[in-house]
Amino acid sequence: MTEPTAHDARTATVAAAKAALKRQAIETPSWGYGNSGTRFKVFAQAGVPRSPREKLDDAAKVHEFTGIAPFVALHIPWDRVEGPDGYQDLAKYAEERGVKLGTINSNVFQDDDYKLGSVTNPDPAVRRKALRHLLECVDIMDATGSRDLKLWFSDGTNYPGQDDIRDRQGRLAEALQAVYERLGDEQRMVLEYKFFEPAFYATDVPDWGTAYAHCLKLGERAQVCVDTGHHAPGTNIEFIVALLLREGKLGAFDFNSRFYADDDLMAGAADPFQLFRIMYEVRRGGGLDGGSGIAFMLDQCHNVEAKIPAVIRSLMNVQEATAKALLVDPDALAAAQRSGDVLAANAVLMDAYNTDVRPLLAEVRTEQGLDPDPVAAYHRSGWAERIVAERADGQQAGWGA
């Protein structure tokens, strides 16, 4: 038998990368299809959905052209539907269009009562109201068949002394415990952190450490959600990813890009190299293996760009970062690291990052019966023109700000 050559190793890496890329699934957010903006202005766009169903129609188109977006995340109350079977019917509607309802995102940040916080509010009546909403979200998960409940709290304080920081942690823990106890065996909660805004002095869940500490106490079905836009500039997000994966506590991603604040720009737009480094740590920690349990999701709004092509572009950016991460040669990297060859180790990563993976992804899509260029295929499809004509009347959906 002849020794395997470098060429054989490369062929095996590419084959494994293709298989992983074909398994990849990324949820798209219902709110990414609706109108959105900054606190200064929400710009309306022609053809924007007027209902949760129309958002699903758009999401289904995205999946049709990319093949990697089979789930759609809902945000309650932005996607509230009425009637005893409202959510079951919505789930059925989604399935008829080739997608499924995914993560249920709770919203305890857009009600006057929450001015001083939701689950950490000093007023027990407000805390009860917030908890009722979170439990209602689990009822909705039962109806939709969703696995994950996403929890993000805008809670925090603006001024030193405004409230007792320590007590607020206790109130938070109490609410999380109540939600955790309500979850079904197959359901999970993913706790998202964000270090600033709308509270600017002290945020109650500011970082991965706080989220991790709460999740650890709760148990296995409580996991941390990393929103890539929620860190201070310069934060090494891939380190957080590596650590959480190692501890079995990385439950979900909200992908987006951050230039200055929060999360409204396309994933991979601001810093594709950072996205690659994150995806490499995901791969290294087994997060790309089937059954890893990580919910990969976009959390973006498209304020000035066309929404559906922007969602498609974002998915392609995540896909490209993933493909590059999959091309890292683990044996060469490990050998360089073991021998302390700093430059060689760095070169292994950079070689993968600098590979043009677009031909590989075009091949993957062709093998899956998709158009190799999803954006062009979308533009050719006539969907954009159709929704502008059909959705001329009525109230466009927005994110409610």
Interface pattern 298-317 for ligand PSV (x via CB under 6 A): -x------------------
Q: Where are the alpha helices (DSSP H) in 247-341?
A: 272-284, 307-327, 330-338
- In one letter, which amino acid is 325? A
Beta bridge partners of 135: none
| C-alpha span between 160 and 375 (Å, rounded) | 49
Span of 47-55, 71-79, 106-114, 295-303 interacting with Mn ion by CB under 5 A: 295-303
Residue 54 engages ligand PSV in binding (rule: CB under 6 A): no
The C-alpha angle 295, 296, 302, rounded to 5 degrees, equals 130
Residue 227 engages ligand PSV in binding (rule: CB under 6 A): yes
Q: In degrees rounded to 5, what are phi and psi of residue 13? A: -60, -45
Using alpha carbons, select from 164, 148, 168 the residue that is nearest to residue 252: 148
105 is in the binding site of which of Mn ion, ligand PSV, none (Cβ under 5 to 8 A by kind)?
ligand PSV
Residue 262 engages ligand PSV in binding (rule: CB under 6 A): yes
Q: Which of 54, 263, 281, 371 binds ligand PSV (CB under 6 A)?
A: 263
Least Å from the CB of residue 192 to ligand PSV: 5
64 is in the binding site of which of ligand PSV, Mn ion, none (Cβ under 5 to 8 A by kind)?
none
8 Å CB contact between 83 and 117:
no
114 is in the binding site of which of ligand PSV, Mn ion, none (Cβ under 5 to 8 A by kind)?
none
Q: Which of 64, 148, 204, 254 binds Mn ion (CB under 5 A)?
A: 254
Residue 367: CB partners within 8 Å, gap ≥ 6? 18, 22
DSSP 97: T
Q: Which of 163, 238, 299, 320 binds Mn ion (CB under 5 A)?
A: 299
194 is in the binding site of which of ligand PSV, Mn ion, none (Cβ under 5 to 8 A by kind)?
ligand PSV
What is residue 376's three-state secondary structure?
A: helix
322 is in the binding site of which of Mn ion, ligand PSV, none (Cβ under 5 to 8 A by kind)?
none
- In one letter, which amino acid is 113? D
Residue 238 engages Mn ion in binding (rule: CB under 5 A): no
The footprint of Mn ion on residues 200-229 (CB under 5 A) is: 227
Cis previous bond, 198, omega within 30: yes
Binding residues for Mn ion, rule: CB under 5 A, are 227, 254, 299
Q: Please give the residue ranges that form the binding site for ligand PSV (CB under 6 A).
A: 31, 105, 152, 192, 194, 227, 254, 262-263, 299
